[in-house]
Amino acid sequence: MEFLKWLIMIVAIFVLLILGCYFLLKSEERKRQNTKLYHNNVKKIQQTNEMLDEVIEELETYNEPLRMFSDQITAIKDNFLNHK
């Protein structure tokens, strides 16, 4: 009876040791997946930032013509209101 008790304890220790190793390996795999996902997200964010920078540059080229057009409209409005 004593021998069976010791045998069960030794088997249980090995089973727990194997389970611990299994969970460590799984967590390492999960960590690698999360790291890869993180780096992919960083790349996507950088690409989005570059695209937004290009859009900002394109929109800034419209600022001067729009400002000139706005000044012309303001001048026409002022002339029209002054003639009344």
The pLDDT value recorded for residue 79 is 84
H, E, C per residue of 52-74: HHHHHHHHHHCHHHHHHHHHHHH
pLDDT tens readout for residues 36-71: 999 999 999 999 999 999 999 999 999 999 999 999
Q: Please report which confidence band the pLDDT of residue 35 belongs to, taking 50, 70 and 90 as the band edges.
A: very high
Distance between CA atoms of residues 83 and 76, nearest Å: 11
Q: Determine if the pTM surpasses 0.95.
A: no
